[in-house]
């Protein structure tokens, strides 16, 4: 994907004008890009705050925990669970991510980046 973009044969700017479904279909046609990556690009890269990357296993687990579910959610279960928060499901995604980062203690130190690196090295 990077080489195609560099060579000019991939116009990512056009994604801004596409609806979510068209953008997902475009991205998923690219080699190595699956649904999770495509949804994450829409959320982070294009600021589509209605997107909750339902294939993100960590996010699924965080959402299930937040909802008090004892069983894991599948993709469709995530979609149904976040429907009530639309068009802001992406905010829920980020909230749950930041909640887990806080719980891990990475936000409670003067150097959160250093704490994260120490955690990874362990």
Report yes or no: 63 and 76 within 8 Å, Cβ to Cβ. no
Reported as type and span, the H/E element at residue 40 is helix 35-40
User: Concatenated DSSP letters for 55-114?
Assistant: T-HHHHHHHHHHTT-SS---HHHHHHHHGGGTT-HHHHHHHHHHHHHHHTTTTSSS-HHH
How far apart, in whole angstroms, are the C-alpha atoms of residue 54 and residue 83?
Answer: 12
Is residue 74 annotated as part of the catalytic site, yes or no? no
Catalytic residue among 17, 56, 99, 103: 56
92: burial class by Cβ within 10 Å (0-12, 13-18, 19+)?
buried
Catalytic center residues: 56
């Amino acid at each position: 994907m990077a080489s195609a973009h560099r060579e000019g044969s991939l116009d990512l700017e056009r994604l801004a004008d596409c609806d979510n479904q068209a953008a997902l279909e475009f991205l998923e046609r690219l080699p190595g890009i699956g649904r999770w990556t495509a949804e994450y690009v829409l959320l982070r890269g294009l600021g589509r705050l209605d997107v909750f990357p339902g294939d993100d296993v960590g996010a699924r687990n965080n959402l299930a925990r937040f909802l008090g579910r004892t069983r894991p959610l599948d993709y469709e279960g995530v979609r149904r669970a976040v429907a009530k928060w639309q068009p802001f499901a992406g905010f829920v995604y980020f909230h749950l991510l930041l909640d887990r980062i806080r719980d891990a203690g990475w936000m409670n130190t003067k150097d959160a980046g250093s704490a994260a690196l120490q955690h990874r090295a362990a």
